[in-house]
Every structure is written in C-alpha cells, then in structure tokens.
Chains A and B, each alone.
Chain A
Amino acid sequence: MIIGEQKPLEEIKELIGDARKVLVAGCGTCVAVCSAGGEREAQILASALRLAFQVDGNSREVTEATVQRQCEWEYIDPLAEQVAESDVVVSLACGIGVQTLVERFPEAWIVPGLNTTFLGMPQEQGIWVERCQACGQCILGVTAGICPIARCSKQLLNGPCGGSHDGKCEVNPDIECAWHLIYERLRKLGKLELMLRFQPAKDWSVSRDGGPRRIVREDLRVLPET
C-alpha cells in the first residue's frame, strides 16, 4: 500500500495561507491504515488547525470529511458541495488523491497535508517499510522475492557492494542489505545459481525515466478514446 506521513502543522498552515474556509479531506484506504490521513487523522488535524487559528487570533471555519478512497472519482463526487464551499481543501490522501481531487474539481484550490513517502507495508505496529518502486518490470522472480530496486541504496542488480556489513547497509545501520537478504534466502532454498547469472542493465524506459506511465486495456474500455 501507499505509505504517507503528515506534514508539520506549520507547513500546512502556510499552505492554507489566508483562506477563510478550510476543508480537511481524509482518505479511508492506504493512508488510514498507516495512520496518516484517515478519518481519525482528519478529525485531529481539523481540531489542531481550529486551535492554532484561535491562538493566532483569527477565526476560520475548519470542517472535515473523509471518503473511502480519494483516488477514484466516484468516491470523491459526494464531496463536491463541500469542496465548492471551501477556499482551500487540505487533502490528507497520498499525492494521487490530491490530484484526483484537482482533476475532478478544477475550480478548487487543493493542497497536500501529507508527504507521500513510499510503497510498502507495516512491519510491526508503528513501523512501515518500503518494498516497491513501481519500476515497471518486476525482477522479484530472480531476486528471491526481495527487491533490490526498492531496498538496495544503490539499486544494484548483481549482488552486494563493498558497503555490506553484517547484513546491514553502510548508508544506515537500520537498513538491511537487500543483497545480503537475497543471498541468504537463495542459499537456504538451494537456488544460489540465480546469483551467479549476470543481470544486464535494466530497461528504465518502463519506469519513471520513460515519462509518465499509462495502461490501456482495450478489453475493459467502455468509452471511446478522446
């Protein structure tokens, strides 16, 4: 899922600027699970903003609303009226949610309340870790199901560099060396020969490098191409 982290209150206040009517829009999917932008966080942020504006001595109208998913038009349509009445919408969704609102409500001023951090999973209560970079061509089949694109600090494809120490990455002792993990797993499963193979340079054109990506499935489309 998509992991996010709320921006500092000061930064959110700065993004709100002089707007009088503020709508805090939460999202009930990924960012709710990682406790960054769900219904509860939207309520807490709205209260914090009300309090902060009160302390600053200027009265603003802060409301909140949370939808199941901010990244699909049909889920955000019910917000239309509230968005129209607001001077600014602080979206607590990931960057996709922010842009879905912008595309659906072109007249509205939408600002992000989160930093979209990565694609990952909760490792334990309170810890989330990165697992995928959406590179467009999955290589997990040859790396024992452990992604060196997302998890190696240098995105190496042919084994660990000299900075691997005690299973950790030299960049930070909290980072596990992805290639150490891959090696150990391949060894245990008797598939070390996979690591002997030379991995050629990756095709980055299907990743972010090739420009924004788009998938078209003709078998599923109902609208004609515009």
Chain B
Amino acid sequence: MKSGSHLEKVLTAGHFAVTAELGPPKGGDAGVIRHGAAMLKDVCDALNVTDNQTAVVRMSSVAACAILKQEGVDPVLQMTCRDRNRLAIQSDILGASALGIRNILCLTGDHQKFGNHPTAKNVHDIDSIQLVQMVKRMRDERKFDCGEEIQGELPFFIGAAANPFADPYEFRPIRLAKKVKAGADFIQSQAVFNVEKFRDYMARVRDMGLLEKVYFLAGVIPVKSVGMIRYMKESVAGLDIPDELVRRMENAEKAREEGVRICVELIQQIREIPGVRGVHIMAVAWESIVPRIVEEAGLLPRPVASTGPTQGE
C-alpha cells in the first residue's frame, strides 16, 4: 500500500471503483463542500476536488479537500501546473499531507484564456508528467525536486489524467505510457462518449502492458441538456461525441432523463471493457444527479475499505 487511501484500498482489493468530481464554491463558505460531501459520501469511493477548474477562481483545492476529510470523505486533490511554480506545488503537497490528504491528481490545467482571468500570467514551470515524477520522488525517495531531503513520509496515491480522444490520436497511448513510467498509480480519463474508439484505445494501452501497472478509471459526464451536448460536441477540444447521442438528446421528451439514461448505459458498456478498473463521474454543476447514476448503473452499495470484491464484481 503506497498511501493507504480509501481509493487505493478499494482498487487494490479488486473492486470496480467509483469516483466523482466536486467543484469548490466561488466563495469562502465551507457549507457548500459539506453539503456535497453529505450528498456523495455513500455513493463514491473518493471525491475529486477541482483546482480552479477551467481557470475560474474557486476555493483552494487543498482547503476543500481538508473539509472533505473532516466529513469522512476520501478526497482526491487535483493539482494543476498553471497557477503554481515548483516551490508552491511542493509546499502545497506538504500541507496536503499534513491535512491527511492521500490522493493527488496531477494535471496541466486549462489555459487561463478560458477562465475568468484571461489576462493573467500562466506558470507552467513544470508539466503534468514532471509533476507525477516529482510527487513520486517526494514519496519514494523523500526528496524535493532540488534533491534536498524531506523529513517524514508523504504517502500519496498518485494519479494522472488521460485523454484517449485528443489528437494526435496515435500518440495518446504513448503519452499515457510516459505518465505511468513517471510514477502514476491511477488514471482518471477524459469523458468517454465514443465507446468504440475508447475500446480501441484500451486495447492498444493493454497491448503496451500499461494496465498491469496502473489502475485505469474511465471518465463520464452526465449531460443535462441539448444545449450542453451540442456545446461540448462543437466547442470542447478533446471530446468525441457521436452524432447519435446528440440526436437522442434532441429527440428526448425529457432531456435530463435521457442524459441520465445515456450516462448509465455508457458506464455499463465501459465496465465491460477489459482493464477498466473504475468510473470517474464528472457531473459539472450537476453533482446531485450522481447518486442516481451510481445506483442505476448497479454500483451500489460501495465497498467498505477492507473487504474483497463482492460476488459478481
């Protein structure tokens, strides 16, 4: 066990893991986080806290993770390279460890152009793969990036993102291999809508022998409206949304219901793909739908940490 986090225990015990995303508030009220925790605690194994997601300023992910800890949730600290240099990143990692945070997801970060401070400088002192390696070195060798020694342990379960659909498509498994080699223990992928393409990607990743070295959690996004799926199809780079899904949303009597149905179906299909060890539900500004999706996808009850997989898992 590298970190002893609940997520790590669930995955190493062989369960199909469920994680979800919680966006911190655009304000200083801890109540929003506590409310999210109460809502999602029993339907997820761990909760990701986004780090100024889409470059919009929100409550610090370290602080929000600490609040989740208090609420009995296993948090996944999302850490981007956009807003911090290597000094700030390392000091935040020390702080996160002190607060009992055990999972970290290492990300590049969305460009600030898409956020609410488009004239800001971006940092990108190191990139996400270098960050993975840095955290691994901090944990395993107890060394800072500069080589100086760190006092005490930093037990982190190290995560990285993967986008199976971005261009150049052929390069994507290679980039994943670099992240695994750098030290990623688990992967949370970009949202899957095109299951065929994802299956092909996973086959290539499997052939490269990566799935023996990393726990792969596939991302899904429940779609709330026709406008949302159209927007994601047309304007969000790195998403691959088949026309059929857009048509289903357009023709549905109740778009939200169809969105839930699609999400549940996607989870069920993705789960059948060899090597997928869990699902990561990114219900952007629609966290309240997560319990229903997890239930309808047949993923309840969630395992208690120390037990092995239940029958049928």
Interface residues of A (CB under 8 A from B): 201-205, 207, 209-211
CB distance from A107 to the nearest CB of B (A): 20
CB distance from A202 to the nearest CB of B (A): 8
Which of the four size classes fits the interface of chain B?
under 10
What residue of chain A has the Cβ atom nearest to residue B120's Cβ? A204
CB distance from B288 to the nearest CB of A (A): 35
What residue of chain A has the Cβ atom nearest to residue B124's Cβ? A209
A205 contacts B111, CB within 8 Å? Answer: no
Q: How far is the CA of A205 from the CA of B121 in the complex (A)?
A: 7
B111 contacts A211, CB within 8 Å? Answer: yes
Q: How far is the CA of A203 from the CA of B120 in the complex (A)?
A: 7
Q: Is the C-beta of B95 less than 8 angstroms from some C-beta in chain A?
A: no
Q: Is the C-beta of B242 less than 8 angstroms from some C-beta in chain A?
A: no
Q: Is the C-beta of B48 less than 8 angstroms from some C-beta in chain A?
A: no
Q: Is the C-beta of B310 less than 8 angstroms from some C-beta in chain A?
A: no
Residues of A within 8 A of B120 (CB): 201, 204, 209
Residues of A within 8 A of B306 (CB): none
Q: Is the C-beta of B292 less than 8 angstroms from some C-beta in chain A?
A: no
A201 contacts B113, CB within 8 Å? Answer: no
Contact of B113 among A202, A205, A207 (CB under 8 A): A205
Q: Is the C-beta of B227 less than 8 angstroms from some C-beta in chain A?
A: no
CB distance from A210 to the nearest CB of B (A): 7
B121 contacts A204, CB within 8 Å? Answer: yes
Residues of B within 8 A of A209 (CB): 112, 120-122
Q: Is the C-beta of B301 less than 8 angstroms from some C-beta in chain A?
A: no
A203 contacts B111, CB within 8 Å? Answer: no
What residue of chain B has the Cβ atom nearest to residue A210's Cβ? B113
A204 contacts B119, CB within 8 Å? Answer: yes
Q: How far is the CA of A210 from the CA of B113 in the complex (A)?
A: 7
Highest count of chain B CB atoms <10 Å: which of A205, A207, A211: A205
Q: Is the C-beta of B118 less than 8 angstroms from some C-beta in chain A?
A: yes
Q: 21 A-B Cβ contacts within 8 A?
A: A201-B119, A201-B120, A202-B119, A203-B119, A204-B119, A204-B120, A204-B121, A204-B122, A205-B112, A205-B113, A205-B118, A205-B119, A207-B121, A209-B112, A209-B120, A209-B121, A209-B122, A210-B113, A210-B118, A211-B111, A211-B113
- Interface flags, B45-83, vs A, CB<8A=1, else 0: 000000000000000000000000000000000000000
CB distance from B127 to the nearest CB of A (A): 16
Q: How far is the CA of A90 from the CA of B113 in the complex (A)?
A: 37
